[in-house]
Amino acid sequence: MQFKTDNTIYASDYGNTKTMAEAVGRGVDSIEKASSTLVEAERVSIEEVTSSDALVVGTPVHMCSCDWRVKKCIDTICSRLWMKDALVGKVSGVFASGGGYGGGAGGAELAMLSIINLSSTLKPLFFRIFCPKSPI
């Protein structure tokens, strides 16, 4: 499944998650005929989520969970679309940035996947960015 447009939704406290979102955007832009748009979680609209072929969500880690702005976006926008099957077939991915003892990024990523992956087609982001000819 090849996608043409990606919206990367993110929240960032100290700039680290934004840096990761920008890297995702550069990776997507490097794929022939694909383009990426970065959208801050608190500014995302339903149209931005539904208009793209792919959706990537990034968050800083707070107490082993995703940022409140990302959670609010998932709760108020993505869940509404999920209930209407409006995300079916959309390529999706998640990433998290965290530091300190234990990090907790895996827990935050699982929380985001629980709603996004239920109705979209999750693809390993590494392969989509760095190995665009991969059959995955």
Cβ–Cβ < 8 Å for 32, 91: no
pTM over 0.75: yes
Residue 36 has pLDDT above 70, yes or no: yes
Residue 69 banded pLDDT, cuts 50, 70, 90: very high
Residue 89 has pLDDT above 90, yes or no: no
* pLDDT value of position 21: 94
Q: Who wins on pLDDT, 35 or 135? A: 35
User: pLDDT, tens digit, for every residue of 1-15?
Assistant: 566 888 899 999 999
* pLDDT value of position 45: 93
Question: Rounded distance, CA 96 to CA 9, Å?
Answer: 12
Residue 23 has pLDDT above 90, yes or no: yes
Question: Rounded distance, CA 111 to CA 118, Å?
Answer: 12
Q: Who wins on pLDDT, 112 or 17? A: 17
Query: How deeply is 63 buried, as exposed, middle or buried, from its count of CB atoms within 10 A (0-12, 13-18, 19+)?
Result: exposed
Q: Which of 47, 58, 67 is nearest to 5 (CA)?
A: 47
> For all residues of the chain together, what is the average pLDDT?
78
Question: Rounded distance, CA 37 to CA 16, Å?
Answer: 18
What is the set of domains in the chain, with CATH numbers?
Answer: 5-130 (3.40.50.360)
